[in-house]
Amino acid sequence: MRIRLEKKNRVTTDFVEIVIDKEIMNVRQGKVKKTGGPSWGKHCGTKENAILEANKIKQEFIEKKYIEVRSKQRPNDFNGVFDKAKWHFRGEFPDELDIFQGYVHTGFYLTWIIEKGLYDTNGDKFLNSEIEKVRKRETTGAEFFERNLDGVLMDDDLMELGNEFTYNYYEKGKFLKDYSEILLADLPTLYHVQDNWANYEKLLPVFEKRFKKWKKSKKPKWWKFN
């Protein structure tokens, strides 16, 4: 569950986002197209309590003249989590592999997000320095994902454009289809792909092609202006 509210000012627009992930409620505030802003989380015991708490906070902001807005690209029941490394440590994850291999596929995508300028550090100086390491290829995206995000990729981590594309491409499964076709070859599972820049370079043109095609699909056709 994800709730977003906005309040337009004379120059800027304030926003608040409330995300429910099971019994955890996360709240983030800031200004649209700006970095920074406070964020906090609360363990509410149960998902039902978290929803009640979220609706209470929502009402408080509505009384402050905020208006609820709905994303055109992500449904209201999307909880804001695109992927968690720990989801991949269960079931078919090979026993012989180091668990770091569960971070690799998301890490390649995260590298592209960073290089494309679609990652939102919210003004965090430490994250800015860590991102610079990825851009200089001193650190891989998988290493960044493990060390700095605890293996969780959320919509809070991305700019709005990055969120829309990630929901359309990564969340809906096209990413894994491309990933498998390009890198798996004779490998037994996607977790056997090595975390190196050569493999990232193989994925890069596909990411660019998908992004370009998606952006083009967002533009209104000329006949829609008539």
55 & 95 share domain: no
Residue 82, both tokens: 């695109």
101 & 187 share domain: yes
* pLDDT score of 97: 95
97 & 170 share domain: yes
Kindly state the average pLDDT of the residues 68-94. Answer: 76
97 & 131 share domain: yes
- Highest-scoring range by mean pLDDT, 22-36, 61-75, 182-196: 182-196
Residue 76: inside a domain, yes or no?
Answer: no
Instruction: Pick the last residue of a domain from 48, 69, 90.
Output: 69
* pLDDT score of 75: 55
CATH code at position 51: 2.20.140.10
Residue type, 147: R
Q: Is the pLDDT of residue 146 over 70?
A: yes
**Cα dist. 130→12, 124, 149 in Å?**
29, 10, 11
Model confidence over 197-220: pLDDT tens digits?
A: 999 999 999 999 999 999 888 765
Residue 168: inside a domain, yes or no?
Answer: yes
Window from 55-59, 170-174, 181-185 with minimum mean pLDDT: 170-174
- Secondary structure (3-state) at 56: helix
24 & 86 share domain: no
**Closest by CA position to 71, among listed 190, 162, 194:** 162
* pLDDT score of 224: 44
**Cα dist. 118→43, 47, 122 in Å?**
29, 31, 12
Kindly state the average pLDDT of the residues 187-192. Answer: 94
DSSP 83-116: EEGGGGGSTT--TTS-TTHHHHHHHHHHHHHHHT
- Total domains present in the chain: 2
Residue 8: inside a domain, yes or no?
Answer: yes
The H or E element containing residue 6 is: strand 2-8
Answer whether 174's CB lies under 8 Å from 210's CB. yes
148 & 39 share domain: no
Between 222 and 11, the more confident residue is 11
Model confidence over 96-133: pLDDT tens digits?
A: 999 999 999 999 999 999 999 999 886 778 889 999 99
CA pair distance 60, 42, nearest whole angstrom: 17
Q: What count of other Cβ atoms lies within 10 Å of the Cβ of residue 91?
A: 6
168 & 119 share domain: yes
Kindly state the average pLDDT of the residues 148-159. Answer: 88
60 & 86 share domain: no
Residue 17: inside a domain, yes or no?
Answer: yes
The H or E element containing residue 216 is: helix 197-218
45 & 88 share domain: no
Residue 5, both tokens: 């509210």
State how far Cα 109 lies from the chain centre: 10
155 & 193 share domain: yes
Domain extent, residue 135, equals 81-218
Q: Is the pLDDT of residue 63 over 90?
A: yes
Instruction: Pick the last residue of a domain from 13, 43, 69.
Output: 69
Residue 223: inside a domain, yes or no?
Answer: no
Between 156 and 26, the more confident residue is 26
Residue 226: inside a domain, yes or no?
Answer: no
State how far Cα 173 lies from the chain centre: 14
* pLDDT score of 156: 77
98 & 209 share domain: yes
Assessment of whether the complete model's pTM goes beyond 0.85:
no
Q: For residue 5, which phi and psi values (nearest 5 degrees)?
A: -125, 145
56 & 152 share domain: no
Q: Is 67 exposed, middle or buried (0-12, 13-18, 19+ CB in 10 A)?
A: exposed
CA pair distance 69, 197, nearest whole angstrom: 39
Instruction: Pick the last residue of a domain from 41, 69, 97.
Output: 69
